[in-house]
Amino acid sequence: MSESVTSGAMGMTVESAFAGMTSVSPVVFRAGCPDCRGRFELTAGALRLAIGATSRTTFYSFTCPECGASVRKPAGERIVELLTGGGVRTLRLHSTL
């Protein structure tokens, strides 16, 4: 079969496209406020991530830009990866066991 894709040209295209994306679009995270029920997008600098010993003590927090409430939500493994990968300040909580 002659359906093999020539990866040379495509590789270059994808590479340059990603290079442009990372420099142009900042990383934003969608969040919601339980107080005023507002929905907004936050940059990495507006979020904080606290990683505890267990998933129950791992959460992220931010201040609602609409009503000023401090919101704290549990963060699963996926969210932790997203936030840390996006440059969110991470605080590792020490537990005394």
- Name the site residues for Zn ion (rule: CB under 5 A): 33, 35-36, 38, 64, 66-67, 69
| CB 32 to Zn ion: min, Å | 9
Q: Closest CB to Zn ion among 34 and 85?
A: 34
Other CB atoms within 10 Å distance of the CB of residue 49:
22
| CB 35 to Zn ion: min, Å | 4
Q: Closest CB to Zn ion among 48 and 90?
A: 48
Q: Closest CB to Zn ion among 14 and 69?
A: 69
Contact between 50 and 93 under an 8 Å Cβ cutoff? The reply is yes
| CB 27 to Zn ion: min, Å | 22
- Of 24, 69, 78, which is closest to residue 49 (Cα–Cα)? 78
Cα distances from 94 to residues 4, 41, 55, 71, 81, in angstroms, run 53, 30, 13, 22, 19
